[in-house]
Amino acid sequence: MAPPSDFPALHVVQPTQDHHCTIIALHGRGSNGPEFAEELFEDKSSNDLTFSEHFTHCKWIFPSSQERYSTVFQEEMDEWFDIYSLTDPSTQEELQVEGLRDSIKHILDIIDKEVELVLPGNIVLLGISQGCATAIHALLAGQHRLGGFIGIAGWMPFRKHFVDLAGSRNDRASLSTFYADTLGLTGASQSNVCRSNPQQNNVIPALLCHCTDDDVVDVELGHQLRDALMSPGLDINVTYKEFVPGGHWIPCPDGFDSIVEFLRCRAFLS
């Protein structure tokens, strides 16, 4: 699945020690990769360390979205996909298809390139707001079983469609059909996150963080994302944390500490 060629160049923060792992971090609407990197590395944990100082073996990749026309704002802006309403993301869902398809392909291409350098299990996908909404479908549609997922102040596009299929008897085929028919991802795998053996402990850990006073993406949408990822048949172990106050961001230091703790539990980051 070759991505469109007109995405901006990646913003990469190289590790300060040997490269053992990669975190791919997606910004929200109206931002870009370099801006998100600057904001994310400004704040510190309760140990007075930035993310890059905590994880010296980690490469951070900050992709930037394309500039797209926003139907709501009636102007061109940096966004992964067009969306009509964040009050009800299911309104005019057809507007989301083209951007989601192109953006997911782009993220999957980045993952494919990183897999040539580190194991898939040493790659974590992170996204905030619309970046989270894009990243979760990249995780579910991709062919590689990644080492973790972090979603901040996000929601799940096409949630109702996804939930209807995720609990079906043939999860892999159903989700593959969903991504092919709904988003046009014809090369999507038959879901690497679907459970083939309930006795196996080969799950993808996911941390979802949302602030109860978020006035951009209501916390109820975070609840819906959490519940969708806990659908029967998915090999995803969801940890959900709420914070107040914090708004549409990661509260400091509690939220940052939660992400550090989550990443510290990954063997490749310890």
Q: Which domains does the chain have, with CATH numbers?
A: 11-269 (3.40.50.1820)
Q: Which helix (H) or strand (E) holds 23?
A: strand 21-26
- What average pLDDT does the chain have? 88
Q: At what angle do helices 97-115 and 171-183 cross, to 10 degrees?
A: 120
Nearest partner of 136 among 150, 123, 122, judged by Cα: 150
CA distance 232 to 46: 36
Nearest partner of 80 among 104, 59, 116, judged by Cα: 104
Look up residue 124 and give its two tokens: 């974590």
For residues 46-64, average pLDDT: 94
Contact 228, 208 (CB under 8 A): no
pLDDT band at 5 (very low <50, low <70, confident <90, very high): low
123 — phi, psi (to 5°)? -120, 130
Judged by DSSP in three states, 223 sits in: helix
**Per-residue pLDDT reduced to its tens digit, 198-255:** 444 578 999 999 999 999 999 999 999 999 998 877 889 999 999 999 999 998 899 9
Question: Taking 60 as the threshold, does the pLDDT of residue 181 lie above it?
Answer: yes
- Give the per-residue pLDDT at 198: 47
Contact 150, 125 (CB under 8 A): yes
pLDDT band at 2 (very low <50, low <70, confident <90, very high): very low
Return the amino acid letter for 28.
Answer: G
**Per-residue pLDDT reduced to its tens digit, 151-174:** 999 999 999 887 777 655 456 667
Alpha helices (H) along 24-129: 33-42, 51-54, 97-115
Contact 83, 72 (CB under 8 A): yes
Question: Taking 60 as the threshold, does the pLDDT of residue 177 lie above it?
Answer: yes
The rounded Cα 204 to chain-centroid distance in angstroms is 13
Residue 93: Cβ within 10 Å count: 18
CA distance 159 to 165: 10
Predicted TM-score of the model (pTM)? 0.92
Judged by DSSP in three states, 59 sits in: strand
Nearest partner of 157 among 84, 78, 211, 75, judged by Cα: 84
DSSP 81: S
- Give the per-residue pLDDT at 4: 47
Look up residue 36 and give its two tokens: 């998100």
- Give the per-residue pLDDT at 196: 52
CA distance 206 to 237: 6
- Give the per-residue pLDDT at 231: 82
CA distance 205 to 236: 6
